[in-house]
Structure formats: structure tokens, C-alpha cells
Amino acid sequence: MSLLSIEDLHVHFVGEDRLGRPVTARALNGVSLTLEQGERLGLVGETGAGKSLTVQALMGLLRAPARLVRGRALFEGVDLLALDEAKLNRLRGAAISMVVQSPKTSLDPVRRIGDQIVRIQQAHAPVSRAQAWRRAIDLLEKVGVADAERRAMAYPHQFSGGMAQRVLIAMALANRPRLIVADEPTTGLDATVQAQVLDLLTSLVREEGASLLVITHDIGVVAHYCDKVAVMFAGVIVESGPVEQVFGAPAHPYTQALLAATPERIEAGGKAPRAGLPPNLRALPEGCVYSDRCPIADASCRTEPPQRLLALGHQALCHHVAPQREALA
């Protein structure tokens, strides 16, 4: 049994147009992905692809007008999407924890850092304050906060962005989660600080035997910190597999375009791909969601593309998969 298995997840936004007629934006259109224990999975794709929405659905954080249309998200065999609020609350922040993009806004500005780490422990287990405080100090030391005893007494505004991000990681680890979901955990941090935070996050994940689902725009982060990658376009995972295979021989035309767009590839003499417009979620094309932008689309692409297995664990959703061998060579 996989630790996490998302199956055929569909989420729509239902609203009205200017004339009051109902319109549906199909934001997630059958997302499926699996994550094994101890694995680090990177979820990539252009802005608006549905990456954050996928984890929101998973964590039970969808709010109207978002509507879960169908799908399952099995965590250790239990469907998260069918749990009631109380049961979800027991999992969130404990067995599953989350690190979000903006550390400053996800910390309580008027509460000491140490107290915030105490509260998250006490919310899930009957631990004494003294015991929870000791663990808070331990965790702060673990995430590289020097002089943790004293810094635990500080308030969030006294921390730099990189420091605050480390505090969030400490909080995410507090209840020994089995799954950590990180939505752009280092966006906005400087390269050297980003490296400090990612090293920390992945080594802690490894030590604790937890799994990591990380959302990022940065292809380099996936290349160096993840085992597997899932590529998303218009609410569909169009390609997934081991990082070395997907990046070494991308098979889906969108993955190929995404990788060709890095400065490194352009420098190597590659031609920058045509960008094209973002997909219109209210009027997605029939068949393949990428067909409006795909350079090799033909008539067959107006029907649902098949899931093609390319190698063990490497698959792409396309009528005309053509692995681009040694794409990065």
C-alpha cells in the first residue's frame, strides 16, 4: 500500500458569467499520483496549473466556490476526502503536516516562537508544557537556530525570512509526521539561504523516514532534492516518474517544453519554446488538455490520450509519446 495515493481527483469552480449563466472552471481534471514511504516527490507546472489546489483538496482545505467533483486521496488506506472535520483535524499537523510559502504570515505575530511550537504539540497529544517546551528547543536546534533557548522567547518579527522558514519546518516536524507537504517552501529566499533550508528539510525527512511532497517552480530544486517528479498542466498530471528518467528523457511535449525553457538549455544552444497562452479552464479543448499549445497535435489528440508506460514507474499521458533521449546532455 502506498503512503499516499491520489486517484482521479476532479475539482471545479462553479460561478456565473456576466449574464448570470452558470459557468464551470475545470481546475483539476483527474489528478492521480502516488507517494511511497520515504520518497520525495516534486510537483511542477506553470502558474495556475492546479498544484496548490491539489494539496488544498488533500488537506481538506477546499472552500466554496471550489467543488470536489470526484476522486479519492488515500493516506495509509484511509480516504482523506471522505473524513469528517474532526478526524481530519486529528491528522493535520500530526501525521500530515504542511510547510507553506509565506512564513511570516503563517506564524502568529503576537505569540513567542517557542509557545507556537508548544501549542502545536499540545493540540495533538496530552504532553506537559515543560516537556513540549524542551522538544521545541530540540527542534529549533535541529533546524539550525543557534542559541535556541533564547531565540524561542523571540517573536516572529525578530526573525529573518530564512529563519522564520526554519521555524515553520520545526513546527511541521513537531508531531513526527509521516507526510510533509511543502508548497513552494523556498520561493522568495536567496539562493544560499534556499540551499540551507532545503538541505535541512530533506535531511530531516530522511532521518525521520517521512515522505515529502514539494511544490515548486524551480526545476533545479526537483533535480537535486527529489526522487520522483510529477508534471502538471491544466489540472492533469501529464508525466511522472523518477527524476533522472523524466528529466533525462522527457516524453510528454509539455515536459519537453518546460525543460527546454531553462537558461541552461538555451545557453547550450537550444531554441526557446513558444510560450502560448495559459489554458482556458472554462473551455478546455476536447481530448488532450495540451492540444491547443502542442506543436505535434493532430486529429487523434481530440480524443482522450492514453497513459503510456515508458519504463518502470515512468509514464506520460499522450497519443504520440516520443522520448527525447538525453534532453539535458
Ligand X SMILES: Nc1ncnc2c1ncn2[C@@H]1O[C@H](COP(=O)(O)OP(=O)(O)OP(=O)(O)O)[C@@H](O)[C@H]1O
Verify binding: residue 65, ligand X, rule CB under 6 A.
yes
User: Quick check: helix, strand or coil at residue 72?
Assistant: strand
State how far the Cα of 303 lies from the Cα of 31, in Å rounded to an integer: 18
Verify binding: residue 43, another protein, rule CB under 8 A.
no
**Options 288, 310, 314, 323; binder of ligand SF4; rule CB under 6 A:** 288
Contact 205, 178 (CB under 8 A): no
Chain positions 115 to 154 lying near ligand X, rule: CB under 6 A, are: none
State how far the Cα of 276 lies from the Cα of 282, in Å rounded to an integer: 17
Chain positions 224 to 283 lying near ligand SF4, rule: CB under 6 A, are: 252-253
**Options 199, 207, 286, 298; binder of another protein; rule CB under 8 A:** 199
Question: Which part of the chain contacts Mg ion (CB under 5 A), choosing from 47-55, 73-81, 251-259, 269-277?
Answer: 47-55
State how far the Cα of 168 lies from the Cα of 93, in Å rounded to an integer: 11
State how far the Cα of 202 lies from the Cα of 33, in Å rounded to an integer: 20
Q: Can you read off the three cell numbers belonging to residue 111?
A: 505569540
Nearer to ligand X, 18 or 325 (CB): 18
Question: Which part of the chain contacts ligand SF4 (CB under 6 A), choosing from 99-107, 177-185, 204-212, 312-320?
Answer: 312-320
Verify binding: residue 317, another protein, rule CB under 8 A.
no
Choose among ligand SF4, another protein, Mg ion, none what residue 199 binds, the Cβ cut-off being 5 to 8 Å by kind: another protein
Nearer to ligand X, 53 or 219 (CB): 53
State how far the Cα of 32 lies from the Cα of 282, in Å rounded to an integer: 21
Contact 229, 44 (CB under 8 A): yes
Phi, psi angle pair for 305, to nearest 5°: -75, 150
CA neighbours closer than 13 Å in the CB half-sphere of residue 302: 2
Verify binding: residue 260, another protein, rule CB under 8 A.
yes
Q: Which residues contact 270 (CB under 8 A, 6 or more apart)?
A: 260
State how far the Cα of 31 lies from the Cα of 11, in Å rounded to an integer: 9
Smallest distance, Å, CB 101 to another protein? 15
Where residue 106 falls (left for φ over 0; alpha for ψ -120 to 50; beta otherwise) is alpha
Chain positions 33 to 62 lying near ligand X, rule: CB under 6 A, are: 45, 47-53
Verify binding: residue 52, Mg ion, rule CB under 5 A.
yes
Site residues (vs ligand SF4, CB under 6 A): 252-253, 288, 290-291, 294, 296-297, 301, 305, 318-320
Site residues (vs another protein, CB under 8 A): 46-47, 144, 146, 160, 162-163, 188-196, 199, 217-221, 223-224, 243-244, 247-248, 257-267, 272-278, 328
Site residues (vs ligand X, CB under 6 A): 13, 15, 25, 27, 45, 47-53, 65, 281
